Structure 1
Amino acid sequence: MSEVDAPREPDAIAWPPTWPRSLDDAFGPPPPGEYRARPEDFQVEEVLDFAPEGEGEHLWLFIEKRDLTTAMAVKALARLCEVSPRVVGVSGMKDRVAVTRQWLSVQLPGRVAPAGLVDALAEQGIRVLEMARHPRKLKRGVHRANRFRLRLTGPAVESPGFTPRWERLLERGVPNLFGPQRFGPDGRNLLRARALLARGWRKRDDRDGMLLSAARSFLFNEALAERLADGSWETLLLGEVAILDGTASQFTVEAPDAELAERAARLDLHASGVLWGVGRSAANGEALAREARLAGRYPALCAGLERAGVRLARRPLRLRLAEASLELGTDALWLTFTLPRGAFATAVLRELIAHPTL
């Protein structure tokens, strides 16, 4: 019996989790490796599908920041513009220990940007690469993707098995797990979420929804772990909700057939997992039965999310690596790839290297 199938008390959370890797059956566990030894080793660039229009009451800035969270950059911009952080918009939240490029917006109706804003931001470690006006505030989740460039070192990248593992990920895709940063050090965000949901979620206790997100992410990872353990994460089950790669388009698979299996094999379609919340699942058959088992294992988390009013959604179980390359340097290996928004580069790395944070 696998650890995923082992009996457990309802809502019992073991930390750290033992979510399977997709490549271990074929290659064994990966050797140790290092990443993000310094911010320059982890580079991320946000990709929008549109550009600011050039006029409007919101000033949009494309920034590069080093060793700063997105929240720190928001506070710095708001302070320098003498506005509330609430009128500063972001699309995605980026890691701190990294060099990241992303868009911010700040509402300045009838005002020009403060004199010396670019230089003042530079003093805070924020380099402005581009500025333009736009009629609307930048909203969360409007970027299409993130481009990553990552430096890896250690026994894993020196192993002859590294390139075959990488090539298998390009061919088969990557399990779309939420990364460990979603759950906080030692899973503390998740444990706080469980306690908050047990007594009743209130926005004042979780202003940005971080704890709700931690709980939903954990449930999704648990569902994906079950699919990884039984080898069904790449296939379409009876009643599966399939998601078209790179889009939000989805449909229920009433009867898997050869055509759908071929599309899944070439990463055109992906099976999906539920992001728990209020609403009726579009799954049926075997896929719906799996969701019921998940609710049976974590009844308090699921019920708490429903009481909080968060809406049910779906997420692909698999990622396709786009614009991907591997470059051998003199003392390290560099990986470059693009992932859709909401996906974690750490989900890719955990398939390639063994590291305590992965």
Structure 2
Amino acid sequence: MRRSPYYIDVMLGMPYYYLDFDWGPLGAQVPRPDGFRVVEEVAGAPCTEFRPSGSGNMHVYLLTKVGVDHSTAMRLASRLLGSRPHVIGIKDSNAVTCQLVYTVGGSPRVREARRGGVEVRYLGDHDRRVEHTGNRFSIRVVTQRLDELARRVSALASAKRLPAYFGYQRFGLVRPNSHTVGRAIVRGNLREALDLLLGRPFSGEPEAWREFRELYDRGMYREALEAAPRSLWPEARVLRELLRSGDPARAMRRYPMPLSFFVEAYQSYLFNLCLSRYLEANEVPERIVVPSSASRAEGACRDVMNEEGVSELASSELSIRARDMVRDSFMEVRGLGLSGEWLEFSLGRGMYATVVLRELLRQDPLTFAG
């Protein structure tokens, strides 16, 4: 294994490249969103080829989005369909993605509609559970060193697998701290969680975001609220409640995303740390269990949770308790190949394409991950 020189990799618990080659940075670009394409895989086939059974109360749609995050896509799709659709997988934000969504009961409201980078097309009715088996990726890698990229692709295709790290999207790229918010929550320090959520600016954030966070860090809450750009409306909503009640728990509950997201991000970070420990020892189990309680942790995970000083992945104040996480230690990289500038491969459900890219490109994650 080789160590990554990038701080964000260490910060997110994945300090190692798996293939033991002395590869330097490739110097490539991945143009987004058009150069990062994701097609959901259903029962081993692309969702674009899915054919519903023709009967049942599930109205199935093909949803295509371009450069739209999941929350926004669901809000737009809800307006188009007349109700919030069910999804079987969450897709990349800064990408072109295709996936299945469905509504239940009543009659299909639309056959085809689009709004704000989201398009839905009715495929038909279905009467059984849809099996999500993974995702297929087509990623354009722009580089002056295509021959070197092809050599690396060949090496990875021979290896066929990589450590199943949780990738950058799980934690944030411009602001990679969802796991540290989760850590503060489970340690019972909600004030620290608030400070991490609202303050502590990162250098890569837009200037308006940094101004808001700097004002918050200086205790100038009303000024921060006045300076908050529209894109930070969730943070403004939390800060408004903090100003009103002075209660960190009440303020945190005003965040529009379920707060369990942060605890689960922290659990994902713990998984990355555990996996790295096993890789260091060259004794990697088939699966790794990160339990909700440190008292039930074993092996490297017991050591990691003890070192983190966390006994329970839970918060009584916020009524959160994580479930035990069981995840494969390695992911299979299926059908990996290079066609011109386009890198193509498939991954199982819950696996991250950016983990494949980091292994091949060996460059600053900010240049390719999002």
Query: TM-score w.r.t. structure 2 length?
Result: 0.68
Give the partner amino acid of 1:171. Answer: S
Using the TM superposition, give the Cα deviation of residue 70 of structure 1 relative to its aligned residue in structure 2, in angstroms.
2.7
| Match of residue 109 from structure 2 | 113
| Match of residue 216 from structure 1 | 267
The answer for unaligned runs of 5 or more in structure 2 is: 44-49, 191-248
CA–CA separation in structure 2 for the residues paired with 1:134 and 1:3? 48
SS in 2 for 1:122: strand
Using the TM superposition, give the Cα deviation of residue 77 of structure 1 relative to its aligned residue in structure 2, in angstroms.
2.2
Q: Is the 8 A contact 1:219 1:276 kept in 2?
A: no
Q: Are 1:188 and 2:196 an aligned pair?
A: no
Using the TM superposition, give the Cα deviation of residue 129 of structure 1 relative to its aligned residue in structure 2, in angstroms.
4.7
Q: Are 1:227 and 2:278 an aligned pair?
A: yes
SS in 1 for 2:92: coil
| Match of residue 61 from structure 1 | 61
| Match of residue 7 from structure 1 | none
| Match of residue 34 from structure 1 | 29
CA–CA separation in structure 2 for the residues paired with 1:191 and 1:345? 23
Shift in alpha-carbon separation, 1:17–1:218, aligned structure 2, 3 A: closer
Give the partner amino acid of 1:352. Answer: L
Shift in alpha-carbon separation, 1:29–1:230, aligned structure 2, 3 A: farther
Q: Sequence identity of aligned pairs in percent?
A: 25
Q: Is the 8 A contact 2:64 2:118 kept in 1?
A: yes
| Match of residue 124 from structure 2 | 132
| Match of residue 168 from structure 1 | 155
Q: Are 1:314 and 2:326 an aligned pair?
A: yes
Q: Are 1:272 and 2:287 an aligned pair?
A: yes
Using the TM superposition, give the Cα deviation of residue 105 of structure 1 relative to its aligned residue in structure 2, in angstroms.
1.1
SS in 1 for 2:165: coil
| Match of residue 95 from structure 2 | 98
Q: Is the 8 A contact 1:47 1:144 kept in 2?
A: yes
Give the partner amino acid of 2:81. Answer: C
Give the partner amino acid of 2:338. Answer: L
Shift in alpha-carbon separation, 1:224–1:97, aligned structure 2, 3 A: same
Shift in alpha-carbon separation, 1:183–1:294, aligned structure 2, 3 A: same
Shift in alpha-carbon separation, 1:228–1:306, aligned structure 2, 3 A: farther
Map 1:15-54 onto structure 2 (within 5 A).
Answer: 15=11, 19-23=15-19, 25-35=20-30, 37-49=31-43, 52-54=52-54
CA–CA separation in structure 2 for the residues paired with 1:52 and 1:166? 36
Q: Which moved more, 1:345-354 or 1:163-172?
A: 163-172
CA–CA separation in structure 1 for the residues paired with 2:128 and 2:295? 33
Aligned residue pairs, count = 288
Q: Is the 8 A contact 1:279 1:312 kept in 2?
A: no
Q: Is the 8 A contact 2:14 2:272 kept in 1?
A: no
The answer for unaligned runs of 5 or more in structure 1 is: 5-12, 234-239, 241-270
Using the TM superposition, give the Cα deviation of residue 194 of structure 1 relative to its aligned residue in structure 2, in angstroms.
1.6
Deviations 1:145-187 (A, max 9, x none): 10001111235x4463x33332232222112111111112332
The match for 1:352 among 355, 360, 363 is 360
SS in 2 for 1:178: coil
Deviations 1:34-72 (A, max 9, x none): 21x221100100111285332333321012211112322
Q: Is the 8 A contact 1:39 1:99 kept in 2?
A: yes
